[in-house]
């Protein structure tokens, strides 16, 4: 006779309060060679054991607890006996697999790498994955919850009953796992977690879910291994070779939900497939080299624009499936356009289905609110001192660049990560071990992030949104830097926008706003950003900042764009800026595409396309963006006339001359020093009538004379347009290397920086 299961253990199983259900349920070999099988099946009336091979009944299980606990003993059956259960409900029966008969899923290497926090493909074992085990199809689940008393997988498949599929715990690493037969792609689930005190927490979404329900629904969805057939092999092969600082990088920043909507269909957003058909050719025709996406990692609240993500491993379901997103990326690559993701490792929201207090402890966030709560955004800050947390984030970065072929990551809010006292008053922060304000753990996290992306990311690059004077953000880690490829030049953006927003008569008093940036222009590898942050929260649009009458406003903006596209640094422009959107950006509305019926708005878009064209064609405008000998002021002291002029140099010594006149007064006979004699021609003039300008152009070649000027051996006399920027190049310069996207015969090559 077998010994009856201890009543306390039976009660614990029945209440879903046992932390080792695999030690009780499923098959257990007895010393006398027989096989004990237990199953917990609430509402069942009878349970028979079937031989999986023959389908014949091998025995029955008797009810031993009113909540639905059954057990029985089979003679002459090995512990690895493959069986199924035939369960009777209300006079009918159903055959099921017993999830408790399957072995542990995690291998020794996985457990070792998890323990040391260095599993670079963490996403392949954590979360939910359809698998076939012992000839049975199902889904394998794994979740990190070291302080939980019990963790279960719940869903409609088990009536959201957390007692039915309690997971196995690996105590040494705090990971819970289970294989549930019969589940597959598309099944909706969450984790039910009981904390160490026995309290059931709000149901949690899977931190590693590769797909989520469409918000406002919050459950995770089982996503199978992709069968998507990528078509960008040539792109992926070449992007590492072209991810250099001497390449043109011009970025179109996009919020997918508001770029364009479908008003005749209840103003719905475009799908990933529609965006591939509409957004990609639009960006290609404008000549941008990259699209940067505001975060498309799954997020519950539209109004966060994606910057408060919960599903860090899932492309948002707002626009389609994960494979639909792959199609979008593939379409970008086919058009010669790289894809950058705004990536948010600095904080996460407090939604109860998310990471907050995940296992009944402050698992992902710091427990001390002086370290773990972001005061400005009401969000939580990752605990970068936990190796499991940094492993979660590092693996996520590699997930996007390798699994989704993304070409770059723009890391959001880096300054908030670097400083312990960021946006905090005295007494509201905790100093580091040296008594300083630097977040040493976050610094280590960022350095390791960049080392991994550049070592394992198949040529992907990184950039930092960092708004302070932190040194060496874009310098290698082996030199003491943070290791980013680029840094956003927030100082340049602030100073130049401040200048151009002044009335032209007052600009002479703010001349240094346009020249100050050159004092630090080569301390980092810079991107010049006119991002979404500059057209929200009451700031208005870029055009709205321009002073004067309507013509002057457009002229100032065109001239400013000309200055930006010829100034050292890669370029970034938020959507709508390319056609001078009048109003401030609104995340729930489409851009105002009707404005393109106005010649002035259409002229700005044409200018942006032409600026990208000369930028990609003229090597002096990009080859030495990050080197001081790629730039030389010609005249930066003409305060009274608000004129700026400078030379940009290529690696082979070729130069282009740029002149900006930021007053509405045309200036004839303006002499400027140039390095070589010969004929110069106007490659672009923002005052061209095609763009809506007054047409003050320098027609035909202009001969440079051997008259020394501005400490240069030769000089050139030009007509300067009102509120205009012009670009001069020598006649028939050698053709600069172009991207393969400009060749009809070759496959596109990514012009990453």
Same domain, 61 and 147: no
Judged by phi (left if over 0) then psi (alpha if -120 to 50, else beta), residue 548 lies in left
* Mean pLDDT value across residues 691-713: 95
Same domain, 479 and 575: yes
Token pair of 502, please? 């002044």
Same domain, 217 and 95: no
Same domain, 314 and 460: yes
Q: What are the φ and ψ backbone dihedral angles of 68, each rounded to 5 degrees?
A: 120, 25
How confident is the model at residue 742, as a pLDDT? Answer: 43
Q: Is 412 a catalytic residue?
A: yes
Same domain, 394 and 483: yes
Q: Residue 381: enclosing H or E segment and its boundaries?
A: none
Same domain, 293 and 192: no
Residue 42 has pLDDT above 80, yes or no: yes
Name the least confident of 66-80, 324-338, 544-558, 591-605.
66-80
* Mean pLDDT value across residues 353-371: 96
Distance CA 74, CA 651 (A): 81
Residue 355 has pLDDT above 50, yes or no: yes
* Mean pLDDT value across residues 403-427: 95
Distance CA 725, CA 619 (A): 19
Q: Residue 479: enclosing H or E segment and its boundaries?
A: none
* Mean pLDDT value across residues 611-628: 96
Same domain, 198 and 261: no
CATH code at position 589: 3.20.20.80
Partners of 40 in beta bridges? 69
For residue 1, name the pLDDT band (cuts at 50, 70, 90): very low
How confident is the model at residue 607, as a pLDDT? Answer: 98
| Number of Cβ within a 10 Å radius of residue 441 | 20
Distance CA 659, CA 199 (A): 69
Same domain, 84 and 122: no
User: Is there a contact between 556 and 567 (Cβ–Cβ < 8 Å)?
Assistant: no
- Domain boundary among the residues 71, 101, 131 is at 101
CATH code at position 122: 2.60.40.10
Name the least confident of 323-337, 613-627, 631-645, 731-745.
731-745
User: Is there a contact between 243 and 460 (Cβ–Cβ < 8 Å)?
Assistant: yes
**Locate tokens 């698992």: which residue?**
363
Question: Does residue 494 sit within a domain?
Answer: no
Residue 751 has pLDDT above 60, yes or no: no
Distance CA 355, CA 263 (A): 36
| Number of Cβ within a 10 Å radius of residue 703 | 13
Q: 3-state DSSP call for residue 87?
A: strand
Provide CB contacts within 8 A for 626, sequence distance 6+: 245, 522, 525, 526, 568
Query: Three-state secondary structure along 675-736?
Result: CCCEEEEEEEECCCHHHCCCCCCCCCCEEEECCCECCECEEEEEEECCCEEEEEEECCCCCC
* Reduced DSSP (H G I as helix, E B as strand, rest coil) percent helix, strand, coil of the chain, to 5: 30, 25, 45
- Domain boundary among the residues 85, 101, 117 is at 101
* Mean pLDDT value across residues 74-95: 90
How confident is the model at residue 19, as a pLDDT? Answer: 83
The answer to pTM > 0.85 is yes
List 192, 330, 388, 465, catalytic entry: 465
Distance CA 581, CA 67 (A): 65
Distance CA 631, CA 96 (A): 73
Distance CA 378, CA 618 (A): 46
Q: 3-state DSSP call for residue 514?
A: helix
Work out whether the CA dihedral 402, 406, 407, 410 comes out positive or negative.
negative
Residue 242 has pLDDT above 70, yes or no: no
Distance CA 379, CA 235 (A): 38
Of residues 614 and 735, more confidently modeled? 614
Q: CA 207 from chain center: how many Å?
A: 16
Same domain, 19 and 132: no
Question: Does residue 305 sit within a domain?
Answer: yes
Polymer length of the chain: 753
Query: Could you tell me which of 351, 376, 569 has the C-alpha nearest to residue 364?
Result: 351
CATH code at position 708: 2.60.40.1180
DSSP E strand boundaries for 545-677: 570-574, 631-638, 643-649, 655-661, 667-674
Same domain, 582 and 451: yes
Provide CB contacts within 8 A for 503, sequence distance 6+: 547, 548
Question: Does residue 530 sit within a domain?
Answer: no
Number of H helices, E strands in the chain: 14, 36
Domain count, the chain: 4
How confident is the model at residue 748, as a pLDDT? Answer: 38
Residue 753 has pLDDT above 90, yes or no: no
How confident is the model at residue 6, as a pLDDT? Answer: 83
Token pair of 162, please? 């957390």
Same domain, 26 and 73: yes
> How does the average pLDDT of the chain come out, rounded?
94
Instruction: Tell me what percent of the residues of the chain surpass a pLDDT of 70.
Output: 96
Same domain, 613 and 653: no
Question: Does residue 554 sit within a domain?
Answer: no
How confident is the model at residue 309, as a pLDDT? Answer: 96
For residue 302, name the pLDDT band (cuts at 50, 70, 90): very high
List 412, 524, 682, 749, catalytic entry: 412
- Domain boundary among the residues 40, 67, 101 is at 101
Question: Does residue 425 sit within a domain?
Answer: no
Q: CA 474 from chain center: how many Å?
A: 18
Question: Does residue 507 sit within a domain?
Answer: no
- pLDDT, tens only, 185-211: 999 999 999 999 999 999 999 999 999
* Mean pLDDT value across residues 717-722: 97
Distance CA 73, CA 689 (A): 92
Question: Does residue 412 sit within a domain?
Answer: yes
How confident is the model at residue 740, as a pLDDT? Answer: 42
- pLDDT, tens only, 580-616: 999 999 999 999 999 999 999 999 999 999 999 999 9
Q: Residue 35 belongs to what domain range?
A: 7-101
Question: Does residue 112 sit within a domain?
Answer: yes
How confident is the model at residue 749, as a pLDDT? Answer: 39
User: Is there a contact between 618 and 569 (Cβ–Cβ < 8 Å)?
Assistant: no
């Amino acid at each position: 006779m077998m010994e009856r299961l201890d009543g306390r253990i039976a009660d614990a199983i029945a209440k879903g309060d046992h932390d080792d259900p695999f030690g009780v349920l499923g098959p257990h070999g007895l010393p006398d060679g027989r096989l004990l099988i237990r199953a917990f099946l609430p509402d069942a009336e009878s349970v028979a054991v079937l031989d999986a091979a023959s389908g014949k009944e091998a025995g029955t299980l008797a009810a031993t607890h009113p909540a639905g606990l059954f057990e029985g003993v089979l003679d002459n059956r090995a512990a690895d006996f493959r069986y199924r259960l035939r369960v009777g409900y209300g006079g009918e029966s159903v055959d099921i697999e017993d999830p408790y008969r399957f072995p542990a899923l995690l291998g020794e290497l996985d457990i070792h790498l998890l323990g040391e926090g260095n599993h670079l493909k963490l996403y392949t074992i954590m979360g939910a994955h359809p698998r076939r085990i012992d000839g049975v199809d199902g889904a394998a689940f794994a979740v990190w919850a070291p302080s939980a008393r019990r963790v279960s997988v719940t869903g409609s498949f088990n009536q959201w009953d957390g007692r039915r599929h309690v997971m196995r715990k690996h105590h040494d690493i705090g990971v819970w796992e289970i294989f549930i037969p019969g589940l597959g792609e598309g099944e909706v689930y969450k984790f039910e977690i009981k904390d160490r005190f026995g309290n059931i927490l709000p149901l949690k979404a899977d931190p590693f879910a590769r797909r989520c329900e469409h918000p406002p629904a919050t459950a995770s969805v089982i996503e199978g291994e992709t069968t998507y057939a990528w078509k960008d092999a040539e792109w992926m092969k070449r992007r590492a070779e072209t991810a250099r600082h001497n390449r043109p990088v011009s970025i179109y920043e996009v919020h997918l939900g508001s770029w364009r909507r479908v008003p005749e269909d209840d103003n719905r957003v475009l799908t990933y497939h529609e965006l591939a058909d509409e957004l990609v050719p639009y960006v290609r025709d404008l000549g941008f080299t990259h699209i940067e996406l505001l975060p498309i990692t799954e997020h519950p609240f539209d109004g966060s624009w994606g910057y408060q993500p919960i599903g860090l491993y899932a492309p948002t379901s707002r626009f389609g499936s994960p494979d639909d997103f792959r199609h979008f990326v593939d379409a970008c690559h086919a058009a010669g356009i790289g894809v950058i993701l705004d990536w948010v490792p600095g904080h996460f929201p407090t939604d109860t289905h998310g990471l907050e207090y995940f296992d009944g402890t402050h698992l992902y966030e710091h427990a001390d609110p002086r370290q773990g709560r972001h005061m400005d955004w009401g969000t939580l800050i990752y605990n970068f001192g936990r190796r499991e947390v940094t492993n979660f984030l590092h693996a996520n970065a590699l997930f996007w660049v390798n699994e989704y072929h993304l070409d770059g990551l723009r890391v959001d809010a880096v300054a908030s990560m670097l400083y312990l006292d960021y946006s905090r008053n005295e007494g509201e922060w905790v100093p580091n071990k040296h008594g300083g304000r630097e977040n040493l753990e976050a610094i280590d996290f960022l350095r390791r992030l960049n080392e991994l992306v550049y070592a394992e990311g198949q040529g992907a690059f990184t950039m930092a949104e960092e708004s302070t004077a932190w040194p060496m953000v874009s310098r290698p880690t082996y030199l003491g830097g943070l290791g980013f490829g680029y840094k956003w030049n927030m100082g340049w953006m602030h100073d130049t926008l401040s200048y151009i927003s002044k009335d032209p008569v007052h600009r002479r008093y703010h001349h240094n706003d346009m020249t100050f940036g050159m004092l630090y222009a080569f301390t980092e590898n810079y991107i010049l950003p006119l991002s979404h942050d500059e057209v929200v929260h009451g700031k208005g649009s870029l055009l709205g900042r321009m002073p004067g009458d309507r013509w002057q406003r457009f002229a100032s903006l065109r001239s400013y764009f000309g200055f930006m596209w010829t100034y050292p640094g890669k370029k970034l422009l938020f959507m709508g800026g390319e056609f001078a959107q009048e109003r401030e950006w609104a995340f729930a509305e489409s851009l105002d595409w009707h404005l393109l019926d106005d010649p002035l708005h259409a002229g700005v878009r044409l200018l942006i396309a032409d600026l990208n064209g000369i930028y990609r064609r003229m090597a002096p405008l990009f080859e030495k963006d990050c080197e001081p000998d790629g730039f030389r002021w010609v005249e930066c002291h003409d305060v009274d006339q608000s004129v700026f002029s400078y030379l940009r140099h290529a690696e082979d010594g070729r130069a282009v001359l740029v002149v900006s006149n930021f007053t509405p007064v045309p200036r004839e006979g303006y002499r400027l020093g140039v390095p070589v004699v010969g004929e110069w021609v106007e490659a672009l003039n923002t005052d061209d009538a095609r763009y809506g300008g007054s047409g003050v152009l320098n027609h035909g070649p202009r001969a440079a004379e051997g008259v020394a000027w501005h400490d240069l051996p030769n000089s050139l006399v030009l007509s300067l347009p009102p509120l205009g920027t012009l670009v001069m190049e020598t006649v028939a310069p050698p053709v600069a290397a172009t991207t393969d996207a400009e060749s009809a015969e070759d496959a596109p090559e990514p012009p990453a920086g």
